[in-house]
Amino acid sequence: MGKKLAVVAFGGNALLRGDQKGTIEEQEANVYDTCKHLVNLIKKDYEIIIGHGNGPQVGNVLLQHEAGQKIYGIPKMPMDICVAETQGAIGLMIEQQLRNVLAKNGINKNIITIVTEVLVDKDDFAFKNPTKPVGPFYSREEADKLTHDNGWVFHEDPRGRGWRRVVASPKPMKVNNREIIERLAREGNIVITVGGGGIPAYMKTKDELVGIDAVIDKDLASAHLAGNIKADEFYILTDVPQVYVNFNKPDQKSLGQVKADEIKKYLDEGHFAEGSMAPKVRASLHFIKKGGKSCTITMADKLGNGQAGTTILKS
Amino acid sequence: MGKKLAVVAFGGNALLRGDQKGTIEEQEANVYDTCKHLVNLIKKDYEIIIGHGNGPQVGNVLLQHEAGQKIYGIPKMPMDICVAETQGAIGLMIEQQLRNVLAKNGINKNIITIVTEVLVDKDDFAFKNPTKPVGPFYSREEADKLTHDNGWVFHEDPRGRGWRRVVASPKPMKVNNREIIERLAREGNIVITVGGGGIPAYMKTKDELVGIDAVIDKDLASAHLAGNIKADEFYILTDVPQVYVNFNKPDQKSLGQVKADEIKKYLDEGHFAEGSMAPKVRASLHFIKKGGKSCTITMADKLGNGQAGTTILKS
């Protein structure tokens, strides 16, 4: 106890790169590499909670369910179950690779992967305006049928590949088992949780918790948890070392240490791409707003090197 | 602390019955029903650890991976990842339904689902004689190719459906995070763990833990855990109220309270079917051998009714 607590959100790259097919060998190698760098933080005496994305993996699970129904008649499962499947699979990969990295470094720590539900508000505006594309592409006729049968919402793919379901991306309201996650971590165990932003659920009645088809932003879910448990630091791992203003323009400038107010201004000015850096900056600001001291957005290999990433500080 | 600790192994029926297709509605209804009965034990002041099977579910996952590769080219994952997927999905189902049952009963307890690896011995004789059929049926040519490429072992289906992979069913040697599982349970939390018998793994070197394609018997994994944490009682839930000798014969006799020595004799005499009651009796005997006081094999709806099941006592 008394040590510093860091929440680290592993990005897609930590698991699967865009140029890879997604074999188990590729994913395990990526995870091992990220975990190698995470040791730098552990050696600096941080207790660690790991959140992680699941974009490519849950995409694959949705397609596998679709294919399993077509070929074998296996009933497709709803999104919350699919997210739970990825929490199991990705949690195992991280737990196992990190276990091996720790053993090589002579560090003795338990690693616990917790299947984690995150509660959302059914009245969240996001449910009125679903925007997050998930699952396979369908023909117009198939999409119409699914809308009729299940009430699914579809958008036409701008690249002409067909119609794709969109689901809401509501705000995380409560991480189930938050107290236990915090306690296990503060006692020196590494906890893997809120995978894929958490399994989305909501209180249908006072007594009834049910799953819901939605995708919670994984950085925001980790930020929410980090803020609530008063983590000292929050790290968002991505595929660039720093955050940039005027990204990809002649006057591109990287941000080192930056105050929350300043980066909020850049965010409002549209410097950061939606679906990429903007949600990460928003998650950082959420953590700072909840009382967090500093949030760092960087690549895994810069972990534990305070100067290398973009560090957002309280204004 | 100081209350009694029970490990309860949910059987296949608790999740999915043989006559069902496996829709989410069916599975949730089954789980809700089992959880309703589990409340009887909780009201009797037992702390609870839940283990569970995953037979039909991991079967579906293997087929979904097969189908996903065929239609979408998604790389299939190895068995340990598939088991992890089912731990996520089934753990979520049990956690959510039990949460709702507890809320309806005004019981306030945390429920934590832990993705759990179970270590096996690579030199276990089971690896020299794999017997557990998994995954889809293949043609002779496909099977030969998979044997050549991956070293898989196949048996021809006696009902002529083709060739099917068989994997080892090794003994559980160590449940990872056992101390944390025990402590959380003894503190009053309900822990869901060792799903599907646990995610099979072994120590490849002193420092390297790796997954392995195998299926650990789920009742034996729960028995192993129950024995090691000195649980007071161990329950195996199945689809019959009691264990029978001379099952389905004119002189069929149900067993009520029975000493370990006596049921061991029946086991040796071949009264219990392999793949059905025999492994449950073996798991019970394992628990008793490890110092357990009593093990009950029964249906969920008899839980908390001491007279209704078959209770195996120390000799």
Per-residue pLDDT of B215-274, as tens digits, reads 999 999 999 999 999 999 999 999 899 999 998 899 999 999 999 999 999 999 999 998
Does the beta carbon of B78 lie under 8 angstroms from any beta carbon of chain A? yes
| pLDDT tops 60 at residue A1 | no
Say whether B44 is catalytic: no
- CB neighbour burial string for A221-250, b if at least 16 within 10 angstroms, e if fewer: bbbbbbbbbebebbbbbbebbbbbbeeeee
Choosing from B11, B13, B197, B227, the catalytic residue is B13
Choosing from B197, B280, B292, B302, the catalytic residue is B280
Residue B153 placed within a domain: no
Contact B115 A117 (CB under 8 A): no
Instruction: Indicate the residue of B22, B70, B78 with minimum beta-carbon distance to A71.
Output: B70
pLDDT digits (tens, 9 = 90+) for A295-306: 999 999 888 776
- CB neighbour burial string for A117-148, b if at least 16 within 10 angstroms, e if fewer: bbbbeeebebbeebebebbbbbeeeebeebee
CA A270 to chain centre: 22
Residue A130 placed within a domain: no
Mean pLDDT rounded to a whole number for chain A: 94
Strand partners, B117: B199
Of A46-50, A264-268, B34-38, B302-306, least confident by mean pLDDT is: B302-306
Q: Say which CATH number the domain at B215 has.
A: 3.40.1160.10
- Residue B93 has a pLDDT of 97
B residues 198-227 lying closer than 8 A (beta carbon) to A: 199, 201, 206-211
Contact A64 B60 (CB under 8 A): no
Does the beta carbon of A107 lie under 8 angstroms from any beta carbon of chain B? no
Nearest chain A residue (CA) to B26: A75
Percentage of residues in chain B with pLDDT exceeding 90? 84
Give the residue-averaged pLDDT of A154-166: 93
Choosing from A195, A198, A218, A302, the catalytic residue is A218
**pLDDT-based confidence at B13, cuts 50/70/90?**
confident
ipTM higher than 0.90? yes
Residue A291 placed within a domain: yes
Rounded to 5°, the CA angle B278-B282-B286 comes to: 170
pLDDT digits (tens, 9 = 90+) for B89-99: 999 999 999 99
Taking CA atoms, B153 is separated from B131, B158, B170, B177, in Å, by 9, 16, 15, 32
Mutation for testing the B interface, residue in A64, A90, A192 having most B CBs under 10 Å:
A64
Residue A151 placed within a domain: no
Residue B131 placed within a domain: no
Q: Show Cβ contacts of residue A271 under 8 Å, excluding neighbours closer than 6 positions.
A: A244, A245, A246, A247
Say whether B280 is catalytic: yes
Say whether A43 is catalytic: no
Of A70-79, B130-139, B198-207, B209-218, least confident by mean pLDDT is: B130-139
Residue B134 placed within a domain: no
Mean pLDDT rounded to a whole number for chain B: 94
Choosing from A4, A76, A122, A132, the catalytic residue is A132
Instruction: Let me know: does B58 contact B118? Beta carbons within 8 Å.
Output: no
- Residue B308 has a pLDDT of 83
Does the beta carbon of B65 lie under 8 angstroms from any beta carbon of chain A? yes
Instruction: Indicate the residue of B24, B64, B99 with minimum beta-carbon distance to A68.
Output: B64
Residue B85 placed within a domain: yes
Contact B60 A70 (CB under 8 A): no
- Residue A225 has a pLDDT of 98
CA B31 to chain centre: 15
Instruction: Report d(CA A286, CA A260) in Å as an integer.
Output: 10
Mutation for testing the A interface, residue in B39, B85, B208 having most A CBs under 10 Å:
B85
Instruction: Report d(CA B267, CA B278) in Å as an integer.
Output: 7
- A305-308 contacts, C-beta under 8 A, 24 or more apart: A305/A40, A307/A256, A308/A241, A308/A242
Q: Among B268, B263, B254, which residue's Cα sits nearest to residue B298?
A: B254
Give the residue-averaged pLDDT of B170-184: 98
Give the residue-averaged pLDDT of A70-91: 96
Does the beta carbon of A169 lie under 8 angstroms from any beta carbon of chain B? no
Taking CA atoms, B65 is separated from A9, A66, B49, B79, B237, in Å, by 27, 11, 30, 11, 30
| pLDDT tops 90 at residue A214 | yes
Does the beta carbon of A308 lie under 8 angstroms from any beta carbon of chain B? no
Give the residue-averaged pLDDT of B34-39: 95
Instruction: Let me know: does A203 contact A209? Beta carbons within 8 Å.
Output: yes
Residue A167 placed within a domain: no
Contact B85 A89 (CB under 8 A): yes
> What's the domain count of chain A?
1
Is B95 in a helix, a strand, or coil? helix
Contact B88 A89 (CB under 8 A): yes
**Structural domain of B207:** 4-120+176-313
A residues 180-199 lying closer than 8 A (beta carbon) to B: 180, 184, 189, 192, 199
| pLDDT tops 90 at residue A271 | yes
A residues 249-268 lying closer than 8 A (beta carbon) to B: none
Give the residue-averaged pLDDT of B265-284: 95
Q: Among B58, B207, B183, B235, which residue's Cα sits nearest to residue A100?
A: B207
| pLDDT tops 50 at residue B1 | no
pLDDT digits (tens, 9 = 90+) for A12-53: 778 888 888 899 999 999 999 999 999 999 999 899 999 999
Say whether A13 is catalytic: yes
Does the beta carbon of B84 lie under 8 angstroms from any beta carbon of chain A? yes
Instruction: Report d(CA B141, CA B40) in Å as an integer.
Output: 53
Mutation for testing the A interface, residue in B64, B82, B83 having most A CBs under 10 Å:
B64
Mutation for testing the B interface, residue in A83, A104, A112, A138 having most B CBs under 10 Å:
A112
**pLDDT-based confidence at B313, cuts 50/70/90?**
very high
**pLDDT-based confidence at A275, cuts 50/70/90?**
confident
